Structure 1
Amino acid sequence: MKKASKISSPAKTGRTQHLMRGRRLEYFTLGWNMVEAAVAIGAGVLAGSIALIGFGVDSLIESFSGAILLWRLASPAHDESREQVARRLVGVSLFLLAAYVCFEAIKSLVAGDQPEASIVGILLAAVSLIVMPLLARAKRRVAAAITSQALVADSRQTDICAYLSAILLGGLVLNALFGWWWADPVAALIMVPIIAREGFEAWQGEECEECH
């Protein structure tokens, strides 16, 4: 029994370390997205940009996802019931994100709103486009170590945030340079089915290679 305890101890220690790293990543996600939301919504209101405001709301949903994962990672053991609830809540947040992006994109196209150029928005989108893929990759590494589908789902949502950053950046730059106000809502509509699919996969708890 003592020998088994010695063998299992390093594994438990390793899992604890991965859980701590996962929590740090989620704390960073929360902090980043709260700042990002404040800057994006503020800049969006000043410029009259629905895309920027929508991006800020996306950041708030990301914060919700991060809070869910912090709750999930509070358990040192692999709790299947906690994992399932966390995974489905992440799925719901993705569905909400898809619905919001779709609504705002259509609203922008129908209204023909022409926002002013936003240098702050362009800089924010550019920085987010760099940070989000790195954050998503780090989350997937931890998810593989602790076999957490919920964390994988959250990393996918972080990937989506990077995609939306690219869309936002393209839309803001095209609007600033050429006055093509319609560019980002059209691109956002293209992203909607991708976001919805990821939400469905998170809800269903589909297995992925990173989890094994």
Structure 2
Amino acid sequence: MQPVSLLQRGLWLEYATLGWNVIGTVVVLVAAVRTGSAALAGFGLDSAIEIFASVVVVWQLKGLEQGREASALKLIGAAFIALATYVLVQSVWTLLTASHPAPSPLAIVWLLATCVVMLLLAWGKLVTGRQLGNVVLSTEARVTLIDAALAGAVLIGVGLNSLFGWWWADPLAGFVIVYYGLTEGRAAWKHAAA
């Protein structure tokens, strides 16, 4: 495949991620407000960060000759560290105040669909990024893979709360987001500095 068509495929994968996450951010944040779920709020913010990361990758792919790689990686890393900080505070607050989030069937369906869609998009980005030799697209593929994993973790927390009334499972799912946010934020910054 020619580099131009690979580049176009990379851009289309980012546009698909943007579209899914724009809709998802609204769906999940509305569900978070209605249910009082720290995990859903964190996942909604993660979707917003995924939007930001996709915009950064599009910016980088459209300016390959301008040496935007390090800046793009730093921006993605900073966004993940900010996400982790917010979700940590929100999850601790939920546990300390023993807030009981309400169930959300809509959020459960959306999270399940997000797991599948993000796994497919992550695979496409990884393959395309490797074929292009583009570290930013390959790094953002991991961000998308983590989005799928986080959707799964939040799905488990929200599902346990819905099925068994285990309200504490919701903020514990938020801690998964904290861990991955910090890990990916550090990795992006480290790669930018290399």
State the one-letter code of the partner of 2:132: I
Q: Pick the aligned partner of 2:22 from 34, 56, 59.
A: 34
Distance 1:187 1:115 in 2: 13
TM-score, normalised relative to structure 1? 0.85
State the one-letter code of the partner of 1:132: M
Distance 2:154 2:177 in 1: 12
Gaps of 5+ in 1: 1-12, 207-212
Aligned residue number for residue 190 of structure 2: 204
Aligned residue number for residue 13 of structure 2: 25
Distance 2:39 2:174 in 1: 9
Task: Note closer, same or farther for the CA distance 1:192–1:47 as it changes in structure 2 (3 Å cut).
Answer: closer
Deviation at 1:109, TM superposition (A): 0.9
Gaps of 5+ in 2: none
Give the number of equivalent residue pairs: 192
State the one-letter code of the partner of 1:67: V
Aligned Cα RMSD in Å? Answer: 1.6
**Structure 2 counterparts to residues 126-165 of structure 1, below 5 A:** 126-165=112-151
TM-score, normalised relative to structure 2? 0.92
Deviation at 1:189, TM superposition (A): 1.5
Worse-matched range after superposition: 102-111 or 27-36: 102-111
Task: Indicate yes or no: 2:36 matched with 1:45.
Answer: no
Task: Indicate yes or no: 2:155 matched with 1:169.
Answer: yes
State the one-letter code of the partner of 2:145: D
Aligned residue number for residue 57 of structure 1: 45
Q: Pick the aligned partner of 1:189 from 172, 175, 191.
A: 175
The answer (yes or no) to whether the contact 1:129–1:162 under 8 Å persists in 2 is yes
Deviation at 1:65, TM superposition (A): 0.4
**Structure 2 counterparts to residues 61-100 of structure 1, below 5 A:** 61-75=49-63, 77=64, 79=66, 81-100=67-86
Deviation at 1:187, TM superposition (A): 3.1
Distance 1:127 1:70 in 2: 24
Distance 2:152 2:12 in 1: 25
The answer (yes or no) to whether the contact 1:68–1:86 under 8 Å persists in 2 is yes
What is the DSSP-based 3-state SS (H/G/I as helix, E as strand, rest coil) of the residue aligned with 1:205? Answer: helix
Distance 1:153 1:103 in 2: 27
Q: Which has the higher contact order (CA 8 A, sep 6+)?
A: 2
Q: Runs ≥4 in structure 1, deviation > 6 angstroms?
A: none
Worse-matched range after superposition: 91-100 or 110-119: 91-100
State the one-letter code of the partner of 1:157: V
Deviation at 1:25, TM superposition (A): 0.7
Distance 1:62 1:16 in 2: 24
The answer (yes or no) to whether the contact 1:94–1:157 under 8 Å persists in 2 is no
The answer (yes or no) to whether the contact 1:43–1:120 under 8 Å persists in 2 is yes
Distance 1:179 1:122 in 2: 15
